[in-house]
Amino acid sequence: MTHQVLVLNGPNLNLLGTREPDVYGRDTLTDILADLHEHAAKRGAELRDVQSNHEGVLVDALHEARGWAGGVVANLGAFTHYSVALRDAISAVELPVVETHLSNVHAREAFRHQSIVAAVCLGVVAGFGRDSYVVALDGLIRYLERREP
Ligand code: DQA
């Protein structure tokens, strides 16, 4: 069975490659997503990706995913730490969502230690750089496979 997965990226992740490379690495989001699509194909999954700097666009993408996706890999960027709207959207769509971060948010500023969405997510992956997306996707696929009849 082919698993359909939404890969959601939030604010400032379009700047990966030049944004604080010591923290986030030098790969662009395009590079990371190209590899992730390739990895997904090997694992029998298909990805659609959405990046937006706007909370409402991310909410809309989650709502739409209800119609086609089996799960979501989501790096919501700074919204992770305070967006009640995104938390509510995750709860509402009832899809398994993996909260994903390039950096180890727990080793950074105190305001990044809190996630408002983690409690309504399937799991959390942080600190593996670009590989965080691969780990999150693999975890999600294994979860979806286990759920298959
Ligand atoms: C991030 C961590 C967040 O705290 C930050 O606001 C980001 C990126 C990460 O991938 O490490 O924009 O989600």
Give the confidence band of 1 by pLDDT, cuts at 50, 70, 90. Answer: confident
CA of 1 to the centre of ligand 1 (A): 32
Average pLDDT over residues 16-38: 96
CA distance 5 to 2: 10
Question: 79-116 pLDDT, tens per residue?
Answer: 999 999 999 999 999 999 999 999 999 999 999 999 99
Indicate the pTM of the whole model.
Answer: 0.97
Give the confidence band of 148 by pLDDT, cuts at 50, 70, 90. Answer: confident
Question: 40-61 pLDDT, tens per residue?
Answer: 999 999 999 999 999 999 999 9
CA of 68 to the centre of ligand 1 (A): 27
Atom of ligand 1 nearest to the CA of 11: 12
Question: 59-83 pLDDT, tens per residue?
Answer: 999 999 999 999 999 999 999 999 9
